[in-house]
Structure 1
Amino acid sequence: MRWAVILTVVALCVGVPGAPAAARAGGAQEVCRITDPAVVEASGLAALPGGGYVVENDSNPEPRRMRLFYLGPDCSVTRSVGYPTTARDPEDLAVDRRGVVWIADIGDNSPLTGGSGKRRDTIALWTLQPGAKSMKIHRLRYPDGVPRDAEALLIDGAGRPVIVTKDPGGEVYRLDTPLPTDNAEGAPLTLVGHFKPSHVGTENPFGFIGSALITGGAVSPDGTRAVVRTYADAYEFDVTDGDVARAITTGTPTVTPLPGEPQGEAIAYTPDGNSFLTVSDQQGPVSILRYPVDRKPSPSVRPAASASVPAPASPVAGPVRDRRARGALLTGAFVVVALGLVAAVARRVRRR
């Protein structure tokens, strides 16, 4: 949530164009509306095989409000589950083929992005078995020991968690050792590669920067596809032999624009795998939206490492539109580079 505050300020200061917060996402259908006041800042979403949904609250100064919520088909809360101990910053959800719910407690906002400065040595995954009343915790760590902010969790065909960091050019990590439970020391993750979103131009509140930050992920119910999203777009990959990390780091994505979402972070598949579900990390009533997935080949999309998709048409006259587009790209590039340099300096200082 703190990222959104910083990005909004940056967008206003540098003049990056963004969609108004109240704009209805183009092409989306409202499935239902979450009105229960207990659900705040829903940053993770998953569809349940038997119907209904599950969401979790983002970081909140009141630990008692950080819970996992089960929703009916109409988005009404049917039950909730608390954490056995205090969660730090839950950011994503997944439901695997066995029906196990995974909560990704992997966020880590630093003072550079409006956070408290309590950088964490380990991250955590929480699991809730079908029918269980209490969660189990599984602590992990990055191989170099340097904290990162992440918001995307996917579970591959072998049941291994895959985590994608939020920064532009996100790092893709996987757990290649057995999943520990109730451990004090974090089990080391393996760096598999990188995913660099580059489909710019889709309207979102944070402009160019919003097109670059990774905020969620999901795997289709049959395991043959995986999706990673930004504030602006969804990138879907074909998955071979259940290897989700390889698909994300080497595959060619199909891009589905998610325009105008106030702060779109979560993404999930419908039980039939033919549509995406999203919800915004916002206070107050929020809607679960459904986007049909167009899987036609997109010749303008290259492999993930160098993908480039043209911006959608604008009603602005040609020369003016081109100048504005170039200006926005240059401004956004400057801000992204600046943020990258600041992050690099921060990591260098932490290593000393």
Structure 2
Amino acid sequence: MRVPRVAVLVGVVAVVAALPVGVPALSGATPSGDVAVADVVPEPLCTPADPVLDELSGLAVLGGRLFATPDAGDDESVVELDSECAVVQRFPSPVDPYDVEDLAAGPDGRLWLADFGDNTAVRQTIALISLDPEDGSGELHRLTYPDRAHDAEAVLVGADGVPVIVTKSLFGASGIYRPVRGRTIADLGSPGPTALEKVGSLTLGPTDTPGGPIPGGSSTLITGGAVSVDGTVAAVRTYTDVHLFRVSDGDLAGALVSGPDLRIPVPGEPQGEAVAFTEHGDLLTGSETVTVGATTVRPPITMWPGVTALLDDRAVVDDPKTGTVDEEAGTGDATVPAVVVTAGIIIVAAAAGFAGWRGFRRRDRRRRVR
């Protein structure tokens, strides 16, 4: 979801004006200070130059091949990238989607497009769309929430094939959903729908990591997810951080409900939504392109090496800027001022509402997945 720049600027003014005198903004440890910060040094991988990825929303690695998808727009193809991030192949979506927000690699050797975007929370159904990267074939699998419509940008497919959706909540905890009775991607009807069940909730942040489009809210809004090739580590990201979860006994949903074990700050991504694991256990993150004045900023896809091994090593630091080791990570007591968080949430809601209205108007004339 692209947040209008005017809304971001208004948010900056509102949040700064709301800060009480003498209270530092976004400093020190996070309120969820029991989550240790991972000690990992990022390496720029490559920078996408093709305009199709100006709104990069999802990444996936399958069979050693790197795939990416943009947010819904004029070109909703899945693209394959080479080691320099050049597009080497395009795969049109097998089904005309409504709003694809994430991309997952399934244990079945297919890519799974998360057609979950719903800024205005009006959709009767959402969908997973399968895509065979060998021949471009695929199917539509409609899904229905058990409670009400939600906006979502994160899908994770476990090693057992069970897909898990994490919603993008502006207020309070995000919901964690999976197909009823733990159905796998192989069990999903086409076109469906298959009913979802809520298995829990997840709250991330706030953190003090810089970046993202919304001051005070970027570190709490969930924008993507991924699972390691062996299924033992899951990642859920916000605009500013990637949170890692140890998956025990293949229970992906249970791992998310239990909360994260480590956090990787991803500073400087202006609108980070994409995350994936390589087959070697490295983490990849990516951001949408942004325009500031007359300057277009194209962030690189960044690799964070050896991330899956971190959950075994428990290597943490208390200050990712200096690399100072903290043997008792997460014991800080400084918190983000509540007024900053509140102001940020209000701005997030206003900005997302405006963006959702524009997106709804844009897509109203297009055939919708129902």
TM above 0.5: yes
Q: Distance in 1 between matches of 2:203 and 2:274?
A: 18
With over 3 angstroms needed to count, the CA separation of the structure-2 counterparts of 1:298 and 1:199, relative to structure 1, is farther
Given residue 141 of structure 1, which amino acid in structure 2 is its aligned partner?
Answer: T
Q: Deviations over 1:280-301 (max 9, x none)?
A: 022564421112334443799x
Aligned partner of 1:333 among 326, 342, 346: 342
Between stretches 169-178 and 216-225, larger displacement belongs to 169-178
Q: Measured at CA, do residues 223 and 158 of structure 1 come closer, stay the same or move farther in structure 2, by a change above 3 Å?
A: same
Q: 2:248 & 2:205 partners in 1: Cα distance?
A: 23
Cα distance between partner residues in 2 of 1:209 and 1:257:
15
SS at 1:38 equivalent: helix
Paired residues of 1:199 and 1:211 also in contact (CA < 8 A): yes
**Structure 2 equivalent of residue 2 of structure 1:** 2
Residue 297 of structure 1, aligned match among 314, 322, 325? 314
Question: In the alignment, what sits opposite 1:173?
Answer: 177
Could you tell me which of 198, 204, 207 is aligned with 1:197?
A: 204
Q: Distance in 1 between matches of 2:49 and 2:58?
A: 16
Count of residues in correspondence between the two structures: 302
Contact 1:125 1:139 in 2 (8 A): yes
Superposition misfits of 4+ residues, deviation over 3 angstroms = 2-9, 283-286, 294-300, 309-313, 325-329, 337-343
Quote the offset at 1:338 in angstroms: 8.3
Given that 2:98 and 2:115 are in contact with CA atoms closer than 8 Å, whether structure 1 keeps it comes out as yes
Displacement of 1:341 = 12
Q: Specify the alignment match of 2:67 in structure 1.
A: 54
TM-score w.r.t. structure 2 length? 0.73
Q: Which structure is higher in RCO with an 8 Å CA cutoff and minimum separation 6? A: 2
Aligned positions of 1:1-352 closer than 5 A: 1-3=1-3, 5=5, 6-7=7-8, 9-15=10-16, 27-50=41-64, 52-60=65-73, 62=74, 65-110=75-120, 119-144=122-147, 146-167=148-169, 168-176=172-180, 177=183, 178-183=187-192, 186-205=193-212, 206-273=214-281, 275-282=282-289, 285-292=298-305, 293=307, 294-295=310-311, 296-297=313-314, 328-336=337-345
CA displacement 1:134-156 (0-9 Å, x = unmatched): 22111101101x21110110001
| Unaligned runs of at least 5 residues, structure 2 | 20-24, 27-39, 291-295, 323-333, 353-370
Unaligned runs of 5+ in 1: 19-25, 111-117, 301-308, 314-324, 344-352
Counterpart of 1:189 in 2: which secondary structure?
strand
Task: Determine if contact 2:225/2:276 at 8 Å carries over to the other structure.
Answer: yes
Contact 1:170 1:196 in 2 (8 A): yes
Corresponding residue of 2:355: none
Could you state the TM-score of these two structures normalised by the residue count of structure 1? 0.77
Distance 2:300 2:320 in 1: 26
Which whole-Å CA distance do the structure 1 matches of 2:151 and 2:320 have between them?
A: 28
Letter in 2 for 1:237: F
CA RMSD, aligned part only? 3.0
Relative to structure 1, is the Cα distance of residues 172 and 128 closer, same or farther in structure 2, using a 3 angstrom cutoff? same
- Structure 1 residues 4, 281: CA separation in 2 closer, same or farther (over 3 Å shift)? farther
Task: Provide the rounded CA distance (Å) in 2 between the counterparts of 1:174 and 1:199.
Answer: 25
One-letter amino acid of the counterpart of residue 207, structure 2: V
C-alpha displacement at 1:234, in angstroms?
1.0
| Partners of 1:198 and 1:212 within 8 A in 2 | yes
Task: Indicate the percent of aligned positions where both proteins have the same amino acid.
Answer: 36
After alignment, is 171-180 or 282-291 more displaced? Answer: 282-291
Query: What is the DSSP-based 3-state SS (H/G/I as helix, E as strand, rest coil) of the residue aligned with 1:278?
Result: strand
Matched AA of 2:116: I
Q: Which residue type is aligned with residue 2 of structure 1?
A: R
Alignment-mate amino acid for residue 11 of structure 1? V
